[in-house]
């Protein structure tokens, strides 16, 4: 399964590389990068600052504790190496002194030399001394290696300690800069709010001006009525039309309504002489 995933990853990587090498592929990747950049630019500043704060918190919660743990391990290793070096140095020094005493005894002996209270031929004592000397030399090499490891651990600890101090200082500097950014952004937002308020004031002024214009028109109409009254007096309005006298009788209206012909008007008697 792992081999199949590895093959798929390699094939996918080759496909991506092949697409990038074509003109269309380069255009597509350029569009993708542009869209990604635009998306990043569309993120509100408050959100970007919050993201930075989260990244700084990661330094406090993961990165710095990890470095502290690494430094503690190196210092613990160095402490153990210091103890091993001290113990081996003491042992090697004692062995060296014992070998020197045996060598002196062999050089002063004539045929036998006393080893642990027993007489031993010089040749045999010399051979034993040679074996013990080789063992001591191996111990010296081990001591040299331990000292090298101890010094390397000290050097690594010093480097890591400096890195940790620099990391903490940079983290504190970032935190301070983020706080400054937050303060500046709040000031900018406050200024923007003031600008929006000024825009609102401008709209209010326009509405007030329109209201005053309407008030002027209403007052004008009132003054027109007042001037008309002054000119024409109480009868300022033109007289109403006089209604014509009604000549139609009730009988005529009744006939018209009922659909019958109106009764003929009575004929006046002829005048004399007609």
pLDDT digits (tens, 9 = 90+) for 25-59: 666 656 666 665 665 666 888 888 888 889 988 98
Q: What is the pLDDT of residue 10?
A: 47
Q: Which residue has the higher pLDDT, 207 or 202?
A: 207
Contact assessment for residue 217 and residue 229, using Cβ atoms and an 8 Å cutoff: no
Report the pLDDT averaged over residues 98-102: 90
Q: What is the pLDDT of residue 30?
A: 66
Q: How far apart are CA 267 and CA 274, in angstroms?
A: 14
Query: What are the pLDDT digits (tens) for 149-201?
Result: 999 999 999 999 999 999 999 999 999 999 998 898 888 888 887 776 555 55
Q: What is the pLDDT of residue 231?
A: 74
- The structure's pTM equals 0.52
Range in 79-83, 136-140, 217-221 with the lowest mean pLDDT = 217-221
The helix or strand, by DSSP H or E, that contains position 115, with its residue range, turns out to be strand 112-115
Report the pLDDT averaged over residues 94-118: 86
**Distances, alpha carbon 266 to alpha carbons 68, 110, 262, 263, 269, in Å:** 136, 200, 12, 9, 9
Q: What is the pLDDT of residue 192?
A: 80
pLDDT range class, residue 7, cuts 50, 70, 90: very low
Q: What is the pLDDT of residue 194?
A: 75
Q: What is the pLDDT of residue 236?
A: 47
Q: What is the pLDDT of residue 134?
A: 96
Q: Which residue matches tokens 């990038």?
A: 20
Predicted confidence (pLDDT) at residue 203 exceeds the cutoff of 70 = no
Q: Which residue has the higher pLDDT, 12 or 104?
A: 104
Report the pLDDT averaged over residues 115-132: 86
């Amino acid at each position: 399964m792992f081999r199949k995933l590895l093959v798929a990853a390699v094939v996918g990587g080759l496909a991506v590389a092949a697409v990038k090498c074509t003109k269309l592929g380069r255009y597509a990747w350029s569009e993708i990068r542009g869209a990604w950049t635009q998306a990043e630019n569309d993120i509100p500043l408050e959100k970007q600052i919050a993201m930075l704060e989260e990244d700084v918190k990661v330094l406090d919660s993961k990165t710095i504790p990890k470095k502290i743990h690494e430094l503690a391990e190196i210092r613990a290793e160095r402490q153990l190496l210091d103890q091993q070096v001290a113990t081996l140095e003491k042992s090697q020094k004692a062995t060296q002194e014992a070998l020197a005493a045996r060598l002196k005894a062999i050089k002063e002996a004539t045929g036998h030399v006393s080893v642990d209270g027993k007489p031993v031929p010089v040749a045999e004592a010399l051979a034993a001394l040679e074996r013990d000397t080789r063992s001591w030399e191996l111990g010296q090499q081990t001591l040299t290696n331990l000292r090298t490891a101890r010094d390397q651990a000290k050097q690594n600890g010093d480097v890591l300690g400096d890195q940790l101090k620099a990391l903490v200082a940079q983290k504190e500097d970032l935190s301070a800069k983020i706080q400054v950014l937050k303060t500046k952004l709040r000031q900018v937002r406050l200024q923007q709010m003031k600008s929006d308020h000024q825009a609102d004031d401008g709209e209010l002024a326009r509405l007030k001006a329109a209201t005053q214009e309407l008030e002027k028109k209403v007052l004008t109409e009132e003054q027109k009525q007042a001037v008309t009254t002054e000119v024409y007096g109480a009868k300022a309005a033109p007289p109403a039309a006089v209604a014509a006298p009604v000549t139609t009788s009730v009988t005529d209206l009744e006939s018209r309504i009922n659909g019958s012909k109106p009764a003929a008007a009575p004929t006046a008697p002829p005048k004399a002489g007609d």
